[in-house]
Structure 1
Amino acid sequence: MTGRPVELAVRALRYEVDGQTLLHGVDLTARPGETVGVVGPNGSGKTTLLRCVYGTLPPTAGRVLLDGDDAPALGVKERARRVAVLPQDAAGTFGLTVREVVSMGRSPHKRFWEQDGPDDRRRVTEALETVGAAAFAGRRFDGLSGGERQRALVARALVQEPGLLALDEPTNHLDIRYQLEVLGLVRRLPVTALLVLHDLNLAASFCDRLYVLAGGRVVAQGPPGQVLTEELLAEVYGVRTHVAVHPATGAPSIVYLPERPAG
């Protein structure tokens, strides 16, 4: 259901808008088959970085490379064959059924106005079943709950058969069961994944490596056990925590502590 995993290399990436610099020379690498998480407080540049990677924002400076190829130089269809996106919003879906929205993921593999064939329909059905959305495939997308929409958008990304999945808060609006199922699915796919996540415990459990952004800069990177320390969380997020190794998973487990009373 996916293409060959690609290597993503972001080099000295800078993004400015209206005289404000949102990314200051960011470097990031996701090796083929890795699941890499980008974490950080609100306004740190996570979504801006992701949008530069998948092409909706043109970097002011720096490079985005896919298997060594300059991503902005690729044609729209070629880039879409390599990178699938799960954005925070879903434009262009009003009035469409879930199946029709998921079928949109096949467009990079077809000529303009070419209809879905039997293979396309099979892939769409498989993707809907994989994410638990088959039961509401005939419903209008704009009538779904937030969690149902999220599962449909994951299915759309899957049928695109990408080598890189770029996911912006893929667990938004999902209950715990589907948070775990969606992230577990991403982990199992033969694909490179770049995820923006707010939930640090989920990031610790499902990501091979993390990049921590603050003020548009990478302030830490590495395996979750090395990155998610009490000192870093205090510095970057301004919160008190207790970080321990989870006895079942071996991943860092973060408990947020209340502020000490003044005086």
Structure 2
Amino acid sequence: MRVRGLSYTTPEGRPLLEGADLDLRPGETTGLVGPNGSGKTTLLRCVYGTLRPTAGTITVDGADLLAMGPKDRARRVATVPQENRPEFELTVREIVLMGRAPHKRFWEPDSAADGRAADEAMARLGITELAGRAFPSLSGGERQRALVARALLQDPALLVLDEPTNHLDIRYQLEILGLVRELGTTNLLALHDLNLAAYYCDRIHVLHGGRIVAAGPPAEVLTAELLAEVYQVTAEVAVHPRTGAPTITYLPPGLP
């Protein structure tokens, strides 16, 4: 995916995103980080189509994403949104099969091939035993796995995840991000936890005030100076002796 000059201004004239440029390389995981209100979710919503940018271009495999209809876009971009309210009484398998909808005609029934693809996706995400369970009965981590399996059935060029670890305990945070890394898809995700972003992302883009202010490998981007400027915190950044990833320790204000 290639993004150039992406901007979004609200109907009231408030700029939420200004001139964002980013490139996603095939098979890599790219993270968006930044304080609350920095523009992460706005950028993702422009990519997966719930917001129409006021300026800029987005291409996926050379195709103009902004010129596509919803169905064509869904064939290229699969989304796991931030809020997944479990108010519908569908089974996990039915939820996963919804991923085939962009590739089917309206009301076209699921085929045997669709069923096999759903079973394979559930096995890949480790939720085969949950196939008959009602989606609302699942834990947060189980729901996230089901939604990632649904996204895989779209056979997308790009997988977009908005705060995929939100409201999950640390075990499920590590499991979900580990699974996403292992899928082999090209991934774009927004994260709050910088240490998770440093470990699981190949590249990081830092947003601040609606602009991308830094981009590159985690070790180059996540510096004490940048954290002080963007997050207004004092921090120490070291290399973890076992993972080799940058590790951030935040220091309380006033510490000598």
- Given the two structures, how large is their TM-score scaled by the length of structure 2? 0.94
Letter in 1 for 2:68: L
The superposition leaves residues 160-216 of structure 1 with CA deviations (integer Å, 9 ceiling, x where unpaired) of: 111100110112233333322322222222321111011111111111110000110
What are the within-5 Å matches in structure 2 for residues 24-35 of structure 1? 24-35=18-29
1:80 aligns with 2:77: no
Check conservation: 2:141, 2:176, Cα contact below 8 A.
no
Post-superposition offset of 1:133: 2.3
- Residue 4 of structure 1: aligned partner: none
Alignment correspondent of 1:119: 113
* Secondary structure of residue in 2 paired with 1:211: strand
Percent identity, aligned pairs only, is 66
4+ runs deviating over 6 angstroms? none
Structure 1 gap segments, 5+ residues each: 1-7
Deviates more, 1:114-123 or 1:174-183: 174-183
- Separation in 2, partners of 1:95, 1:74: 31
Residues 93 and 101 of structure 1 are in contact (CA less than 8 Å); yes or no, is this contact kept in structure 2?
Answer: no
For 1:94, what is the secondary structure of its paired residue? coil
Paired AA for residue 203 in structure 2: R
Report if aligned partners of 1:150, 1:174 keep a CA contact under 8 Å in 2: no
Equivalent pair of 1:102/1:153 in contact (CA under 8 Å): yes
Distance 1:91 1:185 in 2: 22
Letter in 2 for 1:118: A
Partners of 2:86 and 2:135 within 8 A in 1: no
Give 2:237's match in structure 1, choosing from 213, 236, 243: 243
- Counterpart code for 2:141: G
Residue 92 of structure 1 and its aligned partner are, at CA, apart by: 8.9
How many residue pairs get aligned? The number is: 255
1:37-69 Cα deviation digits (max 9, x unpaired): 000010001000001011110001111111222
How do 1:62-101 residues align onto structure 2 when only pairs under 5 Å count? Answer: 62-90=56-84, 94-101=88-95
Tell me the secondary structure at the aligned position of residue 212 of structure 2: strand
Pairing of 1:65-214 with structure 2 (within 5 A): 65-90=59-84, 94-214=88-208
Q: C-alpha distance in 2, partners of 1:64/1:259? A: 41
Q: Secondary structure, in 3 states, of the residue corresponding to 1:249?
A: coil
Tell me the residue number matched to 1:229: 223
What's the CA shift for 1:261? 5.6
1:40–1:214 CA contact under 8 A, matched in 2: yes
Rounded Cα–Cα distance in structure 1 between residues aligned with 2:219 and 2:54 = 33
Of 3, 6, 11, 1:10 maps to 3
| Distance in 2 between residues matched to 1:178 and 1:91, nearest whole Å | 18
Contact 1:147 1:173 in 2 (8 A): no
Deviation at 1:25, TM superposition (A): 0.9
Partner SS, residue 22 of structure 2 = strand
Q: CA deviation at 1:123?
A: 1.5
Q: Secondary structure at the match of 2:253?
A: coil
Output the aligned Cα RMSD.
1.7
Whole-angstrom CA distance in 2 between matches of 1:173 and 1:157: 20
State the TM-score, normalized to the length of structure 1: 0.91
